[in-house]
Amino acid sequence: MKRMGLTTTSRSFREDILPFKLYQKAKKFGVWNPRDIDFSQDKEDWKSFTDIEREVLLRIIALFQGGEEAVTLDLLPLILTIAKEGRIEEEMYLTTFLFEEAKHMEFFRYTLDQIGEKGDLTLFHSNTYKAIFYEILPEAMEKLLTDQSPEAMAEAATVYNMFTEGVLAETGYFGFYQTLEANKMMPGLLKGVGLLKKDESRHIAYGTFLLQRIISEHPHIFDQVEKRMEELAPMAIALNTEGYERSGNPFGNDKQAVLDFTMKQLAVRMEILARAKGKRIEEIYHSHEKEYGVL
């Protein structure tokens, strides 16, 4: 591919659009180091847990670490696609996106190292989990290497941003807080999850912006996204139910609250995307971060 030109002088950047604003926020809030977090109390808490309590927490951490590794590995085709389209402000933001995903993966591995857990945790990766992170996610993202159509882009953003991050990860954070915050346990882990959640709010915002941009230009894509989310919804419910079936509920979590939260996230994602129908593209570019729940 021969590059036709660069925006070195007269154009500059579009500093007034959402991707560039997300880039600025990422520079300000996204540069935190997992290794600066104090895990001394976490180590003591870990010793006090029963075997079944440890199993519950190890399962959650294993799902998160594996998920963060998957999204780190799978993001590059999207970055390449956006770069090929010459959307420089979006690519600038996506450079921070990839850095943050790698940092999140490191955070969960570092947490395990600090509490002394060195075993193979893939035993917690159920068939449902593997279907999502070993098959559906990589397939949707890798397709962008050969197909950059609006339909392929929408599939990638739906699976990655709307479902994996906007539903599964958000429900996982909810589960962490239900399990640990109410019991005043594992403050280092909770601190990292809080920082990670802020990063992810920007990731979800970008994915929502991307889908809204595509839907604005290609209205039929909304139906595709809606159908895909309906197909994926049962997998979210299954994943959040499996933990209770395997290990019970030693922390006394409200199982129904977790399932309700999952369904709420599914509904919220589609509600926000529906706002793109009939919107002019410039309206979407100039959306405010708060409209997307950026923390």
With respect to residue 289, please indicate whether it lies within any of the assigned structural domains: no
Q: Is residue 247 part of a domain?
A: yes
Q: What is the mean pLDDT of residues 198-213?
A: 96
Q: Which of 20, 138, 149 is nearest to 81 (CA)?
A: 149
pLDDT of residue 245: 79
Determine, yes or no, domain membership for 115: yes
Confidence of residue 255 (pLDDT cuts 50, 70, 90): confident
pLDDT of 292: 86
**What CATH number should be reported for the domain holding residue 223?**
1.10.620.20
pLDDT at 248: 77
Kindly provide the b/e burial profile for residues 243-263, where b requires at least 16 CB atoms within 10 angstroms of the residue's own CB.
Answer: beeebeebbebeeeebbebbe
pLDDT score for 96: 98
Please give the average per-residue pLDDT across 136-145, as a whole number.
98
Determine, yes or no, domain membership for 23.
no
Model confidence, pTM: 0.93
Q: Is residue 29 part of a domain?
A: no
Per-residue pLDDT band at 253 (split at 50, 70, 90): confident
Please tell me the distance from the alpha carbon of residue 205 to that of residue 202, in angstroms, as a whole number. Answer: 5
Instruction: Report yes or no on 49 lying in a domain.
Output: yes
Is 8 within a domain?
A: no
Say if residue 179's pLDDT is above 90.
no
The range of the structural domain enclosing residue 191 comes to 37-284
Residue 144 covered by a domain: yes
Does 3 have pLDDT greater than 70?
no
Question: Given a cut of 90, is residue 293 above it in pLDDT?
Answer: no
Return the pLDDT at 97. Answer: 98
Question: Mean pLDDT score of the chain, rounded to an integer?
Answer: 92
Average pLDDT over residues 226-231: 96
6-52 tens-digit pLDDT: 555 566 788 999 999 999 999 999 999 999 999 999 999 999 999 99
pLDDT for residue 243: 80
Work out the angle at residue 214's Cα, subtended by the Cα atoms of residues 208 and 215, and round it to the nearest 5 degrees: 85
The total of structural domains in the chain comes to 1
